[in-house]
Amino acid sequence: MGMEIERKFLVTDESWRAGADGIAYAQGYLARGSGRTVRVRIAGGEAWLTVKGPVSGFSREEFEYPIPLQDAHRMLRLCEGPIIEKERYRIPFGNHLWEVDEFHGENAGLVIAEVELSDANEEPSLPPWIGLEVTGQPRYYNSNLTHHPYREWGPPRP
């Protein structure tokens, strides 16, 4: 069994880009409901199938399995809503590796930073480009962005 302990934040400026190289991601959701999701993801020529349980605080169960790339491309065609398109950047700061997702397509304009923790009580050092924390806010879940993309939110945008 895997456990994901993660916090999410909005990004306030472009300073995180210095020296960062991104990887293109495409992901879609085969099933979701009651806080559970089944996701297919392609990144950097590799693919995974991921099952996630409901969120409890900063944590949730997560099970991830590599799958053949060709299967992932076919599975993406089975997904509902727009496919999540984003560039992911991995940026070390303090004792953590931050992941900054710059969304494209239907979610263009949204930039979110995530940090995975080893313990829910851990307080990571925050980079200077971190803004409002959005951990636990469902509208920022990738699975919800497929049904309610960022471009549809309208004002006010944080």
Sequential pLDDT tens for the chain (158 residues): 588 889 999 999 999 998 788 999 999 999 988 889 999 999 999 999 999 999 888 788 999 999 999 999 999 999 988 899 999 999 999 999 999 999 999 999 999 999 999 988 999 999 999 999 999 899 999 999 999 999 999 765 55
Residue matched to tokens 């049904």? 147
Residues constituting the chain? 158
Residue matched to tokens 């991995």? 90
pLDDT (0 to 100) of residue 156 = 57
Residue matched to tokens 């060709």? 70
CA separation for the pair 73, 78 (Å, rounded): 9
**45 is written with which tokens?**
């020529």
Stretch (H or E) spanning 69 = helix 69-76
Active site residues: 29
pLDDT (0 to 100) of residue 120 = 85
pLDDT (0 to 100) of residue 25 = 98
Strand segments, DSSP code E, in the chain are 3-11, 22-33, 36-43, 46-52, 59-67, 84-93, 96-103, 111-116, 130-133
CA separation for the pair 102, 110 (Å, rounded): 6
Cβ contacts of residue 86 below 8 Å, gap of 6+? 24, 25, 101, 102, 103, 104, 107
Render 30-61 in DSSP notation, one character per residue.
Answer: EEEETTEEEEEEEETTEEEEEEE---BTTEEE
Nearest-CA neighbor of 3 among 45, 41, 65, 56? 56
What is the pTM (predicted TM-score) of this model? 0.91
Show the domains of the chain with their CATH numbers: 3-152 (2.40.320.10)
